[in-house]
Structure 1
Amino acid sequence: MTTQHDDRPDFTPYDGPAGGWGSVRSLADIIPREENMAVTTAELLRQNKPDGFACVSCAWAKPHPPHPAEFCENGAKATAWEITSQRVTPAFFRQHGLTELRTWSDYRLEEAGRLTHPMKYDRATDRYVVAPWEEAFAAIGARLKALAPKSVVFYASGRASLETSYMWQLMARLYGNQNLPDSSNMCHESTSVGLKAAIGVPVGTTRLEDFDSCDCILHFGQNVATNSPRMLHQLRSVAKRGAAIIVFNPLRERGLERFTDPQNPIEMATGKETPIATQYHQVTAGGDIAAMTGIAKWLIEQDQIDHDFIARHTHDFAPFRDKVLATDWADIERESGLPREAIEQAARAYGKAKATIAIYGMGLTQHVKGVDNVRMLVNLLLLKGNIGKPGAGPCPVRGHSNVQGQRTVGITEKTELAPVEKLKEMYHFDPPTEKGLDTVEACAGIIDGTVKAFLSLGGNFARAVPETELVEEGWARLDLSVQIATKLNRSHLIPAAGETWLLPCLGRIERDLQDGGPQRVTVEDSTSVIHYSLGKVEPASPHLLSEPAIVAGIAKATLSPNAHVPWDRWVGDYALIRDEIARAFPHFFARFNERLDEEPGGFWKGNKAAGREWDTESGKAEFLVPEELNATGFAAADGRFRLLTLRSNDQFNTTIYGYSDRFRGINGTRQVVLMNRDDIARAGLSAGQTVTLVSDAQDNHDRRVGDLIVVEYNVPPGCIAAYYPECNPLIPLAHHAEESHVPAAKSVPVRILG
């Protein structure tokens, strides 16, 4: 790919807060650039409102009643990006072949605009050419019929609605497999595994109102200003109440330091800022288990624990207690990168708190010991009885807007998480019960050739996963690639050996008019609340189909007719799909349609652990005895660094909105490596020098990313940071979380070549 930086990138430190005029100026840049300013401005007033649309960016909770402007900087960018006036028409592909387009940056590809026609790759001309929808469905169906079901993957990105996701998983199971990887496999599967084993549910227990009654927040590995900026409203309120906000994060992120509320006229006029973190501890990458062990050790030694809760509601406390007390402080300090005094300071604040929320993101989940990270955080909460009471509980911050909801309605490769017996009863077929492929296993199948076809419901799979080069090589050998998308991305530019189809769909913000009239869809936020979403914008092209219509088209062309699966009726009226979801998942979705109308702010689907019901083998919440203090899965060695991959402020997942990482003072480039000043000197390097990162996985495979500019930055010693997805080629496929298979992108072993 081409180098992704200007001739003269700028590295001037940014001194402003999160929010404030910096956010306003950022929006003033992107909204006019997309040349649809009037429509975008009007739609922003509907964003995350009960009668509006759910943001296509992050999954953070939506308050009721909402703020006057219930959108953040990145959410507004996502809206402008989706309803841009730019178009990728058939003329675009006549001008640009795929070989050329593969040299374009991620930013330039998506900036080209919205896809307008269904397209098929023509190998003779190396171009996409227009094909009718009927031809596309027939050809895809014919290919799928000729393949063994186990060789086909049905991937789902995190933005597809509950209705589409339900149809997608049903199609896969009717076809004969549970190869249903999704973006959870890349980020929060460690949460799903860790929380399920510890407290019996795979999701967090907190709700938005818990922020009103907590007096402490433990915050691990989550960059709020970039990944979920609307949460800053809750953190600001907590901080103004004088509650403790204790942050553990390798980098000092501006949103966790100070915030100016763009919706507060006084703060905007005066430049007033709200300090967020009361303590900020720069734990080394992979050192969180050690830091949490130190907190637990202090709490137990000082008898600052809830004995009654532990006795009544937990199992296996004694071995956990004994292990923690036997752990030496020298080991804790070495592995956490923090002095004992700092850990004890955090422990004292947590110890005196009555109700604590534990917020975390991929800084915990994307490590080899990611599941242990999650369960160790649960251990801290259990010590103080901080699950199942107001103002307390685990709060994993999910990424994409409906990634949690997809799992709720059956997007999973695991039989025990899907209502297969209920599906059998409802649709009169024998669902597969063999475990399907997750993301890592799907990548392995693409590489070794056992995966023959890949159908993608959104997303940019080939760019988002580890082992990029080998995955792309394997992708080119597929019999079939089907990409359902709104915009062009790199995954669309790797043609399969057989057929390659690019199917454009309506976006969530656009009007979805079917036989039953305008259609609403639903999504689930990070706090398990279900919301309506209604698009009203004129579609980007009259040739677009809705996601449910595309799924139904593929299903009808592929599967034998089934009188119990009325695909066309479902496409005509999405309320019928919600009725099916209610039948399949009555414990979550009883009276689905009625509850949506009765509770315009969204309804909570319920959570047993929040009521102190523990759906575990012992019937109680489980303490985990940590085996190791280091979550990285590899040992320290001379010249070996721990690479953290991260997002910029101008990015959401693999979508790049621009080249300004404002908070980190990096502008005009993404080709950087952030290094500690002392590490730069020890390595014999200098700021501004161009270097190459090389994998140090010691598996005899050459992985490297070059043309990276060294930037001096406040990073813990022995750690470096660089952007995702540019550095994904450095992550071995085998370097993933144990049990959950989440790629361990927050601690990758690398060396630096000057």
Structure 2
Amino acid sequence: MDDLAKPHRYNHATGGWGSLEGIARVEAASKANPAAFQTLAEQNKPGGYMCSSCAWAKPPNPHVAEFCENGAKATLWDLTGERCTPQFFDEHSVSELIHWEDHDLEKAGRLTEPLRYDAASDRYVRATWQDAFLAIGEKLKRLTPRSVTFYASGKAALEPSYLYAVFARMYGHNNLPDSSNMCHETTSVGLKKVIGSPVGTCTFDDLAHCDAIFYFGQNPGTNSPRILHPLKDAVERGCKIIAFNPLRERGLMEFVDPQNPWQMTAGKPTKIAHQYVQVRPGGDIAALMGVCKRVLELDSQEGNILDTAFLAAHCHGLDDFRAKLAETSWTEIEQHSGVKRAELEQAGDVYSAAKNVIGIYGMGLTQQVHGSQAIGMLVNLLLLRGNIGRQGAGCQPIRGHSNVQGQRTVGISEKPELVPMDKLKEIFGFEPPVEKGHTTVEFLEALLRGEAKGFVGLGGNLARAVPDQSLISPAWRELELTVHVATRLNRTHCLPGKEAWLLPCLVRAEEDIQDSGPQTVTVEDSFSHIYGSIGRRRPASPHLKSELAIVAGIAKSALPFNPLWRWDDWTADYAKVRKLIERTYPDQFRDMEARMNEPGGFYRGNPAHDRVWKTESGKAQFTVPTVLNSNGLDERAGRYTLVTLRSNDQFNTTIYGHSDRLRGLNGSRMIVLMNPEDMRDTGLIEDQPVTLVTDCQEDIRREVRSLAVTPYDLPRGSLAGYFPELNPLIPLGHHDVLSKTPAAKGIPVRIEAN
């Protein structure tokens, strides 16, 4: 209509020259050492460096350049030429730095020496490693273990992660949340409930054998661009991709392969999505109900659609699910999904005709109040035709941080029942604690109650990533101890506790030389494959230590002497830590040292992949949803559903720049995307400043001011804006019912004109 604002959009394919230009821009801004390009040449290849960005697979037969735009940015950002030395803090107080933008804090460069916060001068000051380890150890001895939380960001490799988890339990607690709590813990809880596995069931090879992919709530163009290569290959051999997402993301629409000279010059982009279903935020449960309803309808008309042999042998609860489908009307499905019946029937036709189907999903499903039910509904669809536990089929979440799944695998978990405590007792000669630890949300709740006293962070920028920042930030300053193992300065570091330390570490791409020589570390991808990684770049400073050496140094200082706790030996030779991992998890890490550099990694196994269901019923479990929209919100006049997003120049809280190229947006991150018809109906115009106010749990006023209204193609009643700037709008109690993952993809808000 003529009176509607024109939506912003990007009219080109993902990849192509735009991707190369994005990499070049970040390279110029980071002032990376020219040797960084040698790291890119070795990235994600056998015997090379495993990317510290997302957790996508490292294929056995890599491309010439086996990195994507986002991975290249992460590497160049890590290998910056900028340095954040102690002199930087002579010039800038913490009270000043807390007001800097996230991008500017990180752009100060790599931290170079251990730093202690000096409250009198409000500055971080130079310290020695010996002083840091001694002081931190003494403080931890004085604190009650239950009052201290050990957080992990998801990037640390398996070796330091394993020792970190062991250290926490030797110290006396299971307070081991990690970034999975903030993003994909719903998978760990929801998927385990229905198929008995807390992780995806596919291997990388399955992508070469699927006939259809149902793709939910994930933006590959920005968050995991290397997935676009196998998606392109799948489409070109006839696979049909059905995308479900509120925003029409370019990565699921068109792709130009930067490594294909013909496509980069004279060729045409590859169309990715066969069908793009623009579902309402949280509407995936209803949409999946519609697809399932169509599948059962076709089976009743034509027969031989359902895999009856699989259903009889491997599934439980189908009759109850059938009854729920029968009683749910198409009117309800259309209302809650925001999608017309004909579109969902079209998707159901594709599903029914495909022999092998993979269900892929991201945080659009997991970061919802009823995200666990959304995952259950996706599994319901897959089970109808036996699409779990055979080649070319399965349920596959796409993880963010490069080793977030691996950290859980080797013991970073607040749930003691998920860790082989008997093995830890046998190997290390101590009684592991049995009391359940804190999730991230539970740590924050304890922080607000004044019960949390200490925080140790193995990477990350947690205080910036969490909900309810207006409440959390002042409480964070009241902690007795904050310790951050870090590579760069970030916003959380500007909230020092009463005693605070910054401990600078190597990045994965840098040489890690210990007494036994150069060290290799290992990581796990989203497909449960394990890879060795070795860094070859010169460290940013001679004063840096590895994450493992820092964990061991703190542990040695904080814990009593025990002849079985050989912190110096483990630091000297990481192979000895891998032996410990193998002893603790013998079935999954058999011959780890010999297999870690195999092309394509070694597969640690997954019972559900082999159709072994470790559920209460002993079978794959159909579930009956209790809601049709996973955001748990009622309709209310003036209420909108806000979805938080990452930009094209961003990885979690790391902001490389201010370009969101793939959405046609540039400049300020303080914007709110809005449907043009909603703008007209509310009398708002483009660039008008507004305030967003949280429209639930109104115990306090939660607001973000001075957001510029920006027209965009969104379902009506929906808004979108950037993470972490809009996190203050998420109440701490607004999270998935089972996992307590913050519901950042379904925040109820109202708009107030400034």
State the TM-score bracket (shorter-chain normalisation): over 0.9
Q: For residue 3 of structure 2, what is the aligned residue in structure 1?
A: none
Note if 1:439 corresponds to 2:440. yes
Partners of 1:11 and 1:667 within 8 A in 2: no
Partners of 2:8 and 2:711 within 8 A in 1: no
Partners of 2:36 and 2:537 within 8 A in 1: no
1:395-443 superposed Cα distances (whole Å, 9 cap, x missing partner) = 1000000000000000000011111111111111110111100010011
Partners of 1:367 and 1:632 within 8 A in 2: yes
- Structure 2 counterpart of 1:553, one-letter code: G
- Structure 1 counterpart of 2:627, one-letter code: E
Q: How many residues align?
A: 743
Counting only pairs closer than 5 Å after superposition, residues 362-401 of structure 1 correspond to structure 2 as 362-401=363-402
Partners of 1:11 and 1:666 within 8 A in 2: no
Q: Report the secondary structure of 1:302's partner residue.
A: helix
Q: For residue 511 of structure 1, what is the aligned residue in structure 2?
A: 511
CA distance, structure 2, for counterparts of residue 682 and residue 585 of structure 1: 59
Q: For residue 335 of structure 1, what is the aligned residue in structure 2?
A: 336
CA distance, structure 2, for counterparts of residue 517 and residue 89 of structure 1: 28
Q: For residue 7 of structure 1, what is the aligned residue in structure 2?
A: none
- Structure 2 counterpart of 1:592, one-letter code: M
Partners of 1:447 and 1:473 within 8 A in 2: no
Note if 1:274 corresponds to 2:275. no
1:58-82 superposed Cα distances (whole Å, 9 cap, x missing partner) = 0001111111000000100000000
Q: For residue 449 of structure 1, what is the aligned residue in structure 2?
A: 450
CA distance, structure 2, for counterparts of residue 142 and residue 177 of structure 1: 17
Counting only pairs closer than 5 Å after superposition, residues 282-431 of structure 1 correspond to structure 2 as 282-303=278-299, 304-431=305-432
- Structure 1 counterpart of 2:116, one-letter code: K
Q: Report the secondary structure of 1:679's partner residue.
A: helix
2:75 pairs with one of 79, 83, 94: 79
1:471-490 superposed Cα distances (whole Å, 9 cap, x missing partner) = 11110110000000000000
Q: For residue 523 of structure 1, what is the aligned residue in structure 2?
A: 523
- Assess, with a 3 A threshold, how the Cα gap between structure 1 residues 371 and 451 changes in structure 2: closer, same or farther: same
Note if 1:567 corresponds to 2:567. yes
CA distance, structure 2, for counterparts of residue 742 and residue 28 of structure 1: 35
CA distance, structure 2, for counterparts of residue 367 and residue 342 of structure 1: 24
Q: Report the secondary structure of 2:721's partner residue.
A: strand
Partners of 2:56 and 2:399 within 8 A in 1: yes
Partners of 1:180 and 1:411 within 8 A in 2: yes
1:135 pairs with one of 111, 131, 138: 131
Q: For residue 501 of structure 2, what is the aligned residue in structure 1?
A: 501
CA distance, structure 1, for counterparts of residue 8 and residue 275 of structure 2: 26
Partners of 2:154 and 2:178 within 8 A in 1: yes
Partners of 2:7 and 2:711 within 8 A in 1: no
Q: For residue 465 of structure 2, what is the aligned residue in structure 1?
A: 464
Q: For residue 180 of structure 2, what is the aligned residue in structure 1?
A: 184
Partners of 1:315 and 1:623 within 8 A in 2: yes
Q: Which moved more, 1:30-39 or 1:127-136?
A: 30-39
Following TM superposition, by how much is the alpha carbon of 1:380 offset from its aligned partner in structure 2, in angstroms? 0.5
CA distance, structure 1, for counterparts of residue 137 and residue 271 of structure 2: 57
Counting only pairs closer than 5 Å after superposition, residues 579-658 of structure 1 correspond to structure 2 as 579-597=579-597, 599-658=598-657
- Structure 2 counterpart of 1:537, one-letter code: R
Q: Which moved more, 1:686-695 or 1:403-412?
A: 686-695
1:81-130 superposed Cα distances (whole Å, 9 cap, x missing partner) = 00001000011010111111111100001111000000000111110000
Following TM superposition, by how much is the alpha carbon of 1:188 offset from its aligned partner in structure 2, in angstroms? 0.6
CA distance, structure 1, for counterparts of residue 464 and residue 7 of structure 2: 27
Q: For residue 248 of structure 1, what is the aligned residue in structure 2?
A: 244
Q: Which moved more, 1:450-459 or 1:599-608?
A: 599-608
CA distance, structure 2, for counterparts of residue 700 and residue 158 of structure 1: 33
CA distance, structure 2, for counterparts of residue 699 and residue 256 of structure 1: 37
Following TM superposition, by how much is the alpha carbon of 1:316 offset from its aligned partner in structure 2, in angstroms? 1.1
- Assess, with a 3 A threshold, how the Cα gap between structure 1 residues 271 and 657 changes in structure 2: closer, same or farther: farther
CA distance, structure 2, for counterparts of residue 722 and residue 36 of structure 1: 30
CA distance, structure 2, for counterparts of residue 507 and residue 168 of structure 1: 17
Partners of 1:248 and 1:280 within 8 A in 2: yes
- Structure 2 counterpart of 1:417, one-letter code: L
Q: For residue 753 of structure 1, what is the aligned residue in structure 2?
A: 752
CA distance, structure 2, for counterparts of residue 299 and residue 458 of structure 1: 46
Following TM superposition, by how much is the alpha carbon of 1:37 offset from its aligned partner in structure 2, in angstroms? 4.7
1:243-298 superposed Cα distances (whole Å, 9 cap, x missing partner) = 11001000000010000000000011115200000000000001000000111111
Following TM superposition, by how much is the alpha carbon of 1:13 offset from its aligned partner in structure 2, in angstroms? 3.6
Q: Which moved more, 1:66-75 or 1:421-430?
A: 421-430
- Structure 1 counterpart of 2:396, one-letter code: C
Q: For residue 540 of structure 1, what is the aligned residue in structure 2?
A: 540
CA distance, structure 1, for counterparts of residue 718 and residue 699 of structure 2: 23
CA distance, structure 1, for counterparts of residue 528 and residue 496 of structure 2: 38
TM-score for both structures, normalised by structure 2 = 0.98
CA distance, structure 2, for counterparts of residue 440 and residue 23 of structure 1: 36
Q: For residue 699 of structure 1, what is the aligned residue in structure 2?
A: 698
Partners of 2:33 and 2:81 within 8 A in 1: no
Q: Which moved more, 1:588-597 or 1:624-633?
A: 588-597
Q: Report the secondary structure of 2:417's partner residue.
A: helix
Q: Report the secondary structure of 1:278's partner residue.
A: strand
TM-score for both structures, normalised by structure 1 = 0.98
Partners of 2:330 and 2:341 within 8 A in 1: yes
- Structure 1 counterpart of 2:401, one-letter code: H
Residue identity over aligned pairs, in percent, reads: 56
CA distance, structure 1, for counterparts of residue 308 and residue 673 of structure 2: 45
Q: Report the secondary structure of 1:707's partner residue.
A: strand
Following TM superposition, by how much is the alpha carbon of 1:38 offset from its aligned partner in structure 2, in angstroms? 1.6
Gaps of 5+ in 2: 1-5, 300-304
CA distance, structure 1, for counterparts of residue 702 and residue 567 of structure 2: 45
Q: Report the secondary structure of 2:47's partner residue.
A: coil
- Structure 2 counterpart of 1:98, one-letter code: V
- Structure 1 counterpart of 2:367, one-letter code: Q
CA distance, structure 2, for counterparts of residue 302 and residue 14 of structure 1: 38
- Assess, with a 3 A threshold, how the Cα gap between structure 1 residues 144 and 675 changes in structure 2: closer, same or farther: same
Q: Which moved more, 1:28-37 or 1:380-389?
A: 28-37
Q: Report the secondary structure of 1:279's partner residue.
A: strand
- Structure 2 counterpart of 1:595, one-letter code: R
Partners of 2:10 and 2:250 within 8 A in 1: no
Note if 1:554 corresponds to 2:554. yes
- Structure 2 counterpart of 1:454, one-letter code: F
CA distance, structure 2, for counterparts of residue 591 and residue 505 of structure 1: 29
Q: For residue 4 of structure 1, what is the aligned residue in structure 2?
A: none
Q: For residue 117 of structure 2, what is the aligned residue in structure 1?
A: 121
CA distance, structure 2, for counterparts of residue 639 and residue 662 of structure 1: 31
Following TM superposition, by how much is the alpha carbon of 1:668 offset from its aligned partner in structure 2, in angstroms? 1.1
Q: Report the secondary structure of 2:588's partner residue.
A: helix
Following TM superposition, by how much is the alpha carbon of 1:601 offset from its aligned partner in structure 2, in angstroms? 3.0
Partners of 2:509 and 2:536 within 8 A in 1: yes
CA distance, structure 2, for counterparts of residue 634 and residue 281 of structure 1: 21
CA distance, structure 1, for counterparts of residue 538 and residue 725 of structure 2: 34
Q: Report the secondary structure of 2:241's partner residue.
A: strand
Q: For residue 3 of structure 1, what is the aligned residue in structure 2?
A: none
- Structure 1 counterpart of 2:611, one-letter code: R
Following TM superposition, by how much is the alpha carbon of 1:12 offset from its aligned partner in structure 2, in angstroms? 6.0
CA distance, structure 1, for counterparts of residue 54 and residue 308 of structure 2: 38
Gaps of 5+ in 1: 1-9
CA distance, structure 1, for counterparts of residue 400 and residue 696 of structure 2: 28
1:568-601 superposed Cα distances (whole Å, 9 cap, x missing partner) = 100000000000000011111111112225x243
Q: For residue 720 of structure 2, what is the aligned residue in structure 1?
A: 721
CA distance, structure 2, for counterparts of residue 138 and residue 716 of structure 1: 56
Following TM superposition, by how much is the alpha carbon of 1:663 offset from its aligned partner in structure 2, in angstroms? 1.1
Partners of 1:31 and 1:40 within 8 A in 2: no
- Structure 2 counterpart of 1:547, one-letter code: E
